[in-house]
């Protein structure tokens, strides 16, 4: 299939963010994409009070998912709606959720980010995602055009056991919608994504935010698609846009046959 990753510079205006996301979904679909992935924070990138206000249930009836479902229906494609605020039982801490929408506009899978980004960076940036976000509790492998797809969000990429668990459940594609900081992105973005692709011999779809956002946030970008050999086969330049590539499952089968490391494991990881 043809897949596209969208790069955005989202702000704290949901309507404008959604309009831009929907427009780029349309551009990617017209270029042939059958699966389009949006980055983390695609609908809202602002302060925590605002995030709580825009959080919605993952039932397709809220403002955010209604817009994405409409775009998926219009173009007859699957859309991975990056990371978005989903209401949880804790009203002060919504989930950071990635949602798969099918070509009918139906929600078929919801993954809630497991690993939350609590860091003090060398550049003075302090981030405490856990203070305003509830952690998820399940891994998710779903299907797109009958191909198993594992779902993650951003900081999850630093936890290889999660990716191995998704591969053991059959994932051939893994999505990593992200909003990497410039500090971490310049040193770790490509390395981590290519490593996860190589280790698990999967395609990695990594749509990302790029640019300046409210509260002084600045994101790295370089949205990319990596193949099972770890090659970056598509990448966005700076600015908003998308990158598109063919996901060749026959090639993936050859990689797995010629270097059968997945069959050589001596240690087990719980599924």
Q: Strand, coil or helix: what is 216?
A: helix
Rounded CA-CA distance 6/95 in Å is 22
Find the helix or strand (DSSP H, E) in which 125 lies. Answer: none
Nearest to 246 by CA among 21, 24, 80, 31: 31
What the block records as the tokens of 43 is 């609908």
DSSP letters along 127-155, please? EEGGGT-B------EEEETTEEEEE--GG
Catalytic residues: 40, 113, 154
Q: Do the Cβ atoms of 156 and 111 come closer than 8 Å?
A: no
């Amino acid at each position: 299939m043809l897949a596209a990753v969208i790069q955005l510079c989202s702000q704290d205006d949901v309507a404008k963010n959604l309009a831009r996301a929907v427009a780029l979904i349309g551009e990617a679909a017209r270029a042939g994409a059958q699966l389009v992935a949006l980055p983390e924070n695609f609908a809202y990138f602002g302060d925590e009070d605002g995030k709580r206000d825009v959080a919605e249930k993952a039932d397709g009836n809220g403002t955010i998912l209604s817009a994405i479902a409409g775009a998926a229906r219009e173009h007859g494609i699957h859309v991975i709606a990056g990371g978005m605020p989903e209401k949880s039982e804790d009203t002060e801490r919504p989930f950071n959720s990635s949602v798969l929408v099918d070509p009918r506009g139906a929600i078929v899978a919801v993954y809630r980010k497991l690993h939350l980004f609590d860091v003090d960076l060398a550049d003075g940036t302090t981030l405490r995602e856990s203070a305003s976000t509830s952690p998820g509790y399940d891994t998710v492998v779903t299907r797109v055009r009958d191909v198993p797809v594992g779902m993650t969000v951003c900081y999850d990429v630093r936890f290889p056991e999660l990716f191995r668990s998704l591969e053991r459940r059959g994932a051939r594609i893994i999505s990593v919608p992200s909003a990497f900081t410039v500090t971490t992105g310049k040193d770790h973005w490509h390395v981590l994504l290519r490593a996860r692709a190589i280790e698990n011999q999967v395609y990695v779809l990594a749509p990302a935010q790029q640019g300046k956002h409210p509260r002084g946030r600045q994101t790295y970008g370089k949205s990319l698609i990596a193949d099972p050999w770890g090659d970056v086969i598509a990448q966005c330049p700076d600015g908003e846009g998308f990158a598109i590539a063919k996901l060749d499952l026959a090639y993936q089968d050859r990689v797995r046959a010629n270097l059968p490391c997945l069959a050589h494991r001596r240690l087990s990881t719980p599924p």
